[in-house]
């Protein structure tokens, strides 16, 4: 079975979490999507890049979620989610592989 790129998992968590919360009207459902995808990404980051990189990328993922809220007040909700998703996706794609 082909492995899903970790950047795609993280993007799915951020975009899917926001979209789920927005369209369902249930923030906890969006949070569940965000958490499940974040946990899956963290496991894969650890396997691919080691504990330190996984911790840094997981921290970035959580910070992106938190940072999207104040950013949304300045540029709008979807642009904010897209911006932070781009940062996390890029960082994930550029993470070094384990030696």
pTM score over 0.85: yes
CB atoms within 10 A of CB 56: 14
Q: Give the pLDDT confidence score for residue 2 in this predicted structure.
A: 53
Question: What tens digit of pLDDT does each residue of 81-90 get?
Answer: 999 999 999 9
Paired tokens of 71: 């950013």
Question: What tens digit of pLDDT does each residue of 34-82 get?
Answer: 999 999 999 999 999 999 999 999 999 999 999 999 999 999 999 999 9
CB atoms within 10 A of CB 93: 12
Cβ atoms 30, 18 nearer than 8 A: yes
Rg of the chain over CA atoms, in angstroms? 13
């Amino acid at each position: 079975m082909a492995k899903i790129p970790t950047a795609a998992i993280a993007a799915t968590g951020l975009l899917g979490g926001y979209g789920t919360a927005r369209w369902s009207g249930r923030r906890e459902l969006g949070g569940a999507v965000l958490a499940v995808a974040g946990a899956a990404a963290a496991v894969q980051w650890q396997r691919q890049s080691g504990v330190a990189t996984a911790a840094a990328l997981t921290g970035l993922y959580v910070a992106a979620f938190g940072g999207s809220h104040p950013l949304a007040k300045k540029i709008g909700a979807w642009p904010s989610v897209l911006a932070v998703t781009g940062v996390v996706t890029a960082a994930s794609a550029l993470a070094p592989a384990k030696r």
